[in-house]
Amino acid sequence: MDGTFEEYVNSRGTALLRFAYVLCGDRYLAEDLVQEALARVHRRWNRLPYLEQPDAYVRTAIVRQYLSWRRRRSSREAPLAVVPEAAAAAGSDVAASHAARDEMWRLLAGLPRRQRTVLVLRYYQDLPDDEIAEALGCAPATVRVHAARGLSRLRVALGPRAGTGLTAVAEPHPVGGES
Amino acid sequence: MNPETLLGETLRSYAAHAPEAAGLLDAVRDRIDRHRRARTLATTGVATAVVVALVATALVVRTPADDREPVMPAEPSVLAPPSFELPTFPFTPGWEPPGAGEPYALVDGPVASLVVRHVDGREPLVDVDVEQPGTFVLAERYTLRNGGGPETVRGHPAGFFSIYGRAGVHWRDDTGRLVVVSSARGLSFPTLMRFAEELQERPFPVRSPVTLDLVPRGAVPVTVTPGALTFALAPDRSLAPDGSPVAGGPTLELLLLHPDRAAAWRRSVEGRLHDQQDEVRVGSHDGLLMQGPTGRTLHVFLSDEFVLHVRERGTPVLSRNDLLRFAAGVRLTPYASFTWEPRD
């Protein structure tokens, strides 16, 4: 294996795994995504046109690998509604802050993968929309649409509780019926 | 705090829970070697197949019957051709909201579900779940409270919920079953209620992801989804009266996994669930039989896309030979799709 590639994996492995993990939310899948992306990148390591910035190349490989995974609708998938009530009991600011982040993490898991990917690239990697578009292979306008829809869903779900650390519970339908 | 700020903080906070990078380089090297071997095999595969076929033909032609390997006496087998019937979903859609695609049904223990796909192929348009009386899977899943308001659906007092982008209506029918009609695609309550009202009391078939040549005698399917098929092997010990699997009862679980996912699972349980593994031949496929104190798991490498994951839970019912024969008779149907999550 090429020495430069080894150095790259050793120096950037942690960052890549962290990125993959927040992207997919699954530790095992994160490992798989990173390993697969690096194995594929290795084949063309010496020919990479972007060797001066391999992170961008590898990140794109991880993103595309993630988006290409086919996922069936599983009866075992955690539905969006399940949030432990314990979070609501958090008393201190620190606990409330943790609870709010836990809630946000669960909401992220319910987003469509492209929306989640855009939000992770924008708010974790701090990438501009044109670089996100390049990673996803779409137009910057499409990135903005995914971001807006993803954020909108998060805002709706968090509602007035956004940032308070309170856990959402089932809301009765306005026409009544919930007793 | 606005959602954007909270989102950034959440992602940075959760990133600390990512897997450690120790061993990453070795894992990447393994994968590179695997890719290399796969490319080599692909290149030489056709030629090898031709040579093997020719040699095999020659051997068959030239080997006198007396020289053949003695046939081992058959072990007592618990396998028999399948005689069970697949469960069905109790309703058939009678009306299609705009955007409705092909529906499919699945059963997971006490809950049967009908999923109406959206024509865009993304998140389904409508889900209908029916749960037998006495269990509380749906109440927990959707954080339902009691229904019983002034609105009715199909003549029953209805409850409504709207949470995290999913809206739904629920009721209990005369037999005590809980029925939930919901959507995460923005369908209005009137639309959901119309869909519920138009449901026909006609069974909708649950399609199996696989066909089977042989099954353990008495096996009853308790979970049938596009990526999973689970049998209770001793219904008196494996099933509760409501049809849900009993923890610890002997079951046989078949899952369809992506090869990378299957490899990740094997790594995650190595030394914990399995301390021994043997390469085996399963019909015309390669397999890996893993054994340990908690039981056996067989992985059959069906194709580049699917690994068949066969896991025994509870007291083993199948002999090793039966397990391999059972797995050799598993064939994918057009309804097969892979699932992500093998449980330990």
Residue B303 in contact with partner chain A when CB distance is under 8 A:
no
Residue of B101, B115, B303 lying closest to B204 (CA atoms): B115
Which of 34-53 (A) contact B at CB < 8 A?
34-36, 38-40, 42-43
Residue B146 neighbours by CB distance under 10 Å: 12
Interface list for B 234-273 with A (CB within 8 A): 258, 260-261, 263-265, 267-268
Q: Does A110 sit within 8 Å of B164, measured CB to CB? A: yes
Calculate mean pLDDT across residues B100-128. Answer: 90
So where are chain A's domains?
Answer: 5-72, 77-179
What is the C-alpha separation between B158 and B172, in angstroms, rounded? 8
**The token pair that represents B295 in the structure block:** 């039981």
B contact test, residue of A68, A74, A105, A166 with most B CBs within 10 A: A74
Gyration radius from chain A CA atoms: 19
B11 and A120: CB-CB below 8 Å?
yes
Q: What mean pLDDT comes out for the span A99-123?
A: 89
Q: pLDDT value at position B81? A: 92
Q: What type of residue is B210?
A: V
pLDDT at B236: 62
Give domain A77-179's CATH number out of 1.10.10.10, 3.90.960.10, 3.30.470.30, 3.40.50.300: 1.10.10.10
Q: Flag whether residue B226 sits within 8 Å of chain A, measured between CB atoms.
A: yes
Could you read off the pLDDT of B295-344 as tens digits, one per residue? 899 999 998 889 999 998 877 788 999 999 999 999 999 888 877 666 55
Q: B106 — contact with chain A (CB < 8 Å)? A: yes
pLDDT at B196 over 80: yes
| Reported pTM | 0.55
Cα B50 → chain centroid: 36
* Per-residue pLDDT reduced to its tens digit, A144-161: 989 999 998 888 887 654
Whole-number Å distance between alpha carbons of B123 and A116: 14
Length of chain B: 344
**So what's the ipTM on this one?**
0.78
Q: Is B298 left (phi over 0), alpha (psi -120 to 50) or beta?
A: beta
What residue has token string 């839970």?
A: B313
Does residue B267 carry a pLDDT above 90? no
Q: Which of residues 170-189 of B touch A (CB under 8 A)?
A: 184, 189
Task: Report which residue type is found at A123.
Answer: Y
Mean pLDDT of B234-245: 58
- DSSP letter string, B291-323: EETTEEEEEEE-SSS-EEEEEEESS--S-HHHH
Alpha carbons within 13 A on the beta-carbon side of B97: 25
More confident of the two residues B302 and B136: B302
pLDDT confidence tier of residue A162, bands split at 50, 70 and 90:
very low
Q: Which site among A31, A40, A105 would you substitute to test the B interface, given the most B Cβ atoms closer than 10 Å to its Cβ?
A: A31
**DSSP 3-state of B54:** helix
DSSP assignment of B20-49? P-TTHHHHHHHHHHHHHHHHHHHHHHHHHH
Question: Which residue spans within B68-165 are E strands per DSSP?
Answer: 79-80, 88-89, 100-108, 111-118, 126-131, 152-153, 156-157, 159-163
pLDDT digits (tens, 9 = 90+) for A40-55: 888 777 766 555 668 8
Separation between Cα atoms, residue A156 and residue B76, nearest integer Å? 61
Cβ contact, residue pair B32, A178, below 8 Å: no
Cα(A86)–Cα(B238) distance, integer angstroms: 33
Residues 127-146 of chain B whose Cβ lies under 8 A from any Cβ of chain A: 140-146
CB atoms within 10 A of CB B226: 23
Give the up-direction half-sphere exposure of residue B344: CA atoms within 13 A in the CB hemisphere: 11
Burial class (CB in 10 A: 0-12, 13-18, 19+), B319: middle
Rounded CA-CA distance B314/A117 in Å is: 40
Report pLDDT for A155.
85
